[in-house]
Structure 1
């Protein structure tokens, strides 16, 4: 009996000893690599300590086989660790998967080190800083199925040994510095399902002619790969292909007929190539096609009827040279919901039944040679959102049926030959955002029904034959930013309530027959930058309040019947354009306009005079002053002197700045202010203190004029201190900027041991305070958040694209976006800003000596390259967009360990059902928005489509690679333009 028991126990004992031996062996390898080869600044591997027999299986990032307890996987992705390639991990013979992606591993990868991993099945080294040549995979790697070297700095040729990785299913080497050619031998990898070689500076080379061998391939992703030549006929053999992207290359020739063999393809991206010829009829076989983009090529001929019968989700052949008419079959496609044919050479009329049998949401046929009337049934199913037909020869009236198309949000039918009346109900759609009818022959009046379009932001009706008075209901369009009614026959007085349009940025009414006086109470036009009322019949005086508009740079009142003097207050404006010519103005030209530069803007006013401008009448000399007047003036002077002495005695607080008198201060004024600087400095008392930090204090000062300013006082500053650089940067940057979305610097004061900056006061503090402070976001609904996003983007776009030289903020964050009393945003705090010199090309940037910025907002490449570019600000702004949607700080603990807001949202997007394009989340990928958005927002007020768009833009902005981030000008366009499809964020 004992013998039998021994026979049973002995094998179990041997297995236990073998397991224990394996555990000890694996632990020794892991600890040796950790202690001698890795730098773990965040202590991610702190629990790699031997405490029990199965210790490695409980260590962070280590996984074991559940039966043998042998280590089979090491995953250190996103751990923030660094070092050379840790090849010694591969000395664990049971290791099958090694993932060290998204870290800071560097140096080169030698053939000897990689050869230690010949037994590994999955090797992910992506998103590190490896350099040198691609590793040579010798000897054989019979089990390797996944190889990902994406997002490194590897260069040179693709080694021939890659062609012998017979089991490889995934090959990802995108976003490196590979400068060889795309080799033919890669098509020997018959097991490949993912083939991603994009964004490398290869030598010009064609798509391999034998690409058709890869019959299991599902994703062929080669944009920006310097491809040339033609698409090979063998492409049709890729029967499993779902995503085919060769955009941004120099591929030429015609699209082969064999493309019809791609029966499972869902997305084809051919844009930005040199393709020519006609689209083949074999498109009829592509019954799974959802996206087709062949824009910006040289394609010709008619669209094949076979193509328009496909169940298209998106069809886009813009920016080609297509010719001919659109087949009638387009109107019969029941699945077509987006038709984009803009910037081609199509002619003829649109099929009369277009839209009759389909759920069209977007039609864009702009920039062609179409003629005739618009099809009456385009919106018969009331789903049409975007109607874009500009730049053609369409004629006739807008069909009456369009008056029932309440789904319309974006109408651009300018530069055509339309005539007749606009259907009344078309003016009143509640979802309307943009109405652009310019340069046609429309007639009739603007009806009061326009009040229904409360969300419209742009009303562009210039150069038509509209007549009648402007209805007072137009004052209810509170979101209206641009109104251009110029070149019509509108008449009557302007409604006085027009000054209630607080969002107006541009108002153009020139070339009409408006009469009456210009409204006087214009102080609410704080966003107005351009005002053109020229060539009308306005009478009365020019309102002096126009001089107080903070961002007005364009003012044209010429060709009217205005009288009185030119208000001196207008000289406070920083005008690029000023014209009051051909009126009935009189009196002396104000000093600020009394220069040769403004002469042409003053002519045509016979009673206007100047003391020295030769083209204007000379002003008469003043009569001698009587003794009585002299006496009165002397008495006033004595009274004023006494008042000043009393004020100086009361401002003892100035002594806090030291014993130096005012002569030792250097005061620089950047904006016209209606108060004395001394009054501000005298008010820097504890009672006005609203914030303090290590460098100084911030005060809220309410002046006797009623104006409130914010004062930043830096103490302990001198020309040698570290803070001096930040002070000078802020002064140099803000001192020359004039933009409605950038905080205004009023003046600065420099003393021996202090620096003072005085700004306009922002009533609602910072965006960060509202989202994350005591107010807790309760006062911000989605509409306000969206406006904040657009406004802040416009401010940053101005810095990047309109300033010369361009300015990089370097510290974009929610705490540096201030909000006024109406929650309009101002970008603030330019202490870290840098100016890019004109000779610095976009993307080159400046090398900084140290990392600057705020944790959670810093772009990943900045941390290890110290290179400052505009794309660094774009990344930070993307984080702010995510804050606006989610309502949490960038590093909120609720995201989990080693997660920030970007990674958390990116994982949420990746976990949703994806479209086929590698690294792309398209429309509809946000399946559970309620779990993402700030729960403090009222769901009934949330525009979920708008929120999805903002999330998509945010992911584009926070792309790991600067190359993939849009410019801030593009960000503004993506956020504002309702005609654009939702952007496609990179999620790789």
Structure 2
């Protein structure tokens, strides 16, 4: 009998321990999951072209009329432009004060294309940026004047953040500019209907009318509008009725009509080939849609559709799986009034409980059908709010724990109970963190993707060393292939400090994930598992710049045209980080290894924003103590290396070093070279002083033309100017871009100052060392 009691006792103890372990296992399983893809951020405007003296007289009249109209309405534009002459001086050739440039920027480019038909043809290309009211310096008041239509060569317009700018658009304004590529009128108080005349044919890349009070039913009344668009944003307005995209959708990739009063969405693809409709993402949440628009799932390239918080009710029936876009990965119908779901009669496997596809596609959280979610595996799978939501009933409800605890008896059982309570407490804390994060994430405009740790282990073959793409001061990068076949770069960061708040890390990741530019590597998302932090980036096809310059890849040697485009692309990427983002993002580690090249040799800057994560990471394994400094020897500016002073000018200095490396095809510091060539920056200075800069050029660059010789000399001077010892004398990256494309002259006075500071006679160098660079003294070994 005693033996029987002991057996029962030990069985009970094992049960308690297994129960605690099961809670921990489920908590870990739910800690990392995926979330809906973030709302795409539109690419920044293209760089302004080279200005000339050519312009249409109507453009001068148009701009002045616009400013006069706004001035009469209460906008004090005349006070900001007191010296603007009216006669024979186009405003785009006027040098505005810095304060004005924040809200008014325009440039004109005229290209003479020759006497093709006996006439002198000129092509006019004009970019204009009006009224981005970030700092409150200037507020536009009144209505958009009709005179804006006189600017027929407008290429880019952005008027944003002016709540007192109201009234309708000038009649047929959208088609008034044949050369327009981007029209953004977001976050104003504009109203009225949007109409488009049938002629002429018109295409625009980006049309953003979000956050206004426009009404009516756009485009449906304009069936013969002859109008196409790539990115259309009508969100946060008062549009109503049926949204029709029949004619405008042949080039449409992104559609955002969220937060309106639309009752239906119709995009007809009858009789069209598969490649006609490139639409990938539809945002239609927070409208008055009555039924599920299943026809949209047939769009051949559709990836995501958001229909949350509408009036979709009744039975949800999916179409035959064979008719659904093969690219489809998310259908969010959260917070509607769906009471039942049914599979297609021709393809019941779409709702088969074992189907992985449906569990990764449909989200029905907040619908009446989910009140009985525990009754079937299918409902538990689809009744989620997003990909980060755990599948229902993954863990035992906390309310049942006291019932189990009350059955514990004896001293050993008490110990088991204490251990279980400890684990359960940690479990509840982890669940609270996850819930808090999801709550905070839902409030953000742009949400990073969250990937599960299991998914990333599978993608990288359990982080196999054969998949390593590179190592750096922040961690190791692996090549990964996700379950949908897409290729990614998985960066496994150093372990996080134990006392660092997970929310701070996620806040920084959210900031970085908003940044999108053609010369920056795109952050796709992240994963958090205990003290591990993992970032997921787009995979850039080619190798990094260092490998190609040093001949470590199979790529042919870069010609000068490719090298110049790489330099210009890097400059534009840095200018975007420094001057288009508030607050600016400082890279701190610009070097050739952090410049990736795609298949067309376009440069993309990697690891930008990682400096924001420095406080969260354990610095025990970095190449430089990141609690004090981040960067790579040879690229550090003197003030940063010596005093830790951080500003955008330290990136400018590193860029200058990188320019010289791209021109010469060698490392900045190379102990295998003769003493006078050991340090690239000092050697370049000596050659510049002797007007022998072409000796710096990579020997693999053959057949360089005279025009290219001139360009190379100019680029070298720009690189040297970026190395100026005084931070104030180094140019901003936007000025570097302007100098590279010929819009701005090089500051030769500052360049001469740099010579005076750094150039030393060869006799001053010993056989053991060379002159110092800022605070660094380089010894020959």
Report TM bin, short chain.
0.3 to 0.5
* TM-score normalised by L of structure 2: 0.46
Q: Which has the larger radius of gyration?
A: 1
State the TM-score, normalizing by the size of structure 1: 0.38
User: Quick check: which one's helix share is greater?
Assistant: 2
Higher relative strand content:
1
Larger RCO: 1 or 2 (CA < 8 Å, sep 6+): 2
